[in-house]
Amino acid sequence: MKIINLSERPEFQETVTDWLWKAFGSENSRAFFESVVQSSLRGADLPQTFIALEGETLAGTVGLWRCDLISRQDLTPWLAALYVDEGFRSRGLGWELQAFVLEHSRRSGFSELYLYAEFTGYYERFGWKYIGDALDYPDKPVRVYQQFL
C-alpha cells in the first residue's frame, strides 16, 4: 500500500469527492466536498488530501484540514475525512492513513492534531485522547480528540 498526496494523482479527485460526500455529507453537500478536494490540489499548506493506493486501485483517503468543526475553530489542524473503501476495510488501512497524517503533521511543524467522531472506541486504540464534547453544525453532539506529535 502506498500513501501519497492526491495532487500526485489528481485523476482520483472525483472518486474521493464522491466517497466523502456519501460517507460524511448530506443530500446537497457534494459541492462542499468538491471544494475541499479542489482546494487541496492548489498547493496550499492546508487543506491537504492524501490517498492510499494498492497498485493502481484507490483504497482510501484522509485529509489534513485547518478546521473540521465549526464550533471548535480554536483548534488546528485536524485529521479529517478518513475513509477506507469497503473492499479494503479490516486490514489496518485506517491506522496507516492516520499514521501518515500524524507523521506528515509532525514534519510540517505542528505539535498536535485534532479530530472528531460521533462514536467511541476506535480512535482511542490509536493513541487519540478524548478532550471533550462539541457540536457539529447545527446541533449534532460529537466527541473531540487530540494527539500530541
CB 139 within 8 A of CB 102: no
Average pLDDT estimate for 126-143? 95
Q: How many helices (H) and strands (E) does the chain have?
A: 3, 7
Q: Is-above-0.75 flag for pTM? A: yes
Quick one: average pLDDT of 117-138? 95
pLDDT digits (tens, 9 = 90+) for 37-75: 999 999 889 999 999 999 999 999 999 999 999 999 999
pLDDT-above-90 percentage for the chain: 95
Return the half-sphere exposure (C-beta side, CA atoms, 13 A cut-off) of residue 86.
3
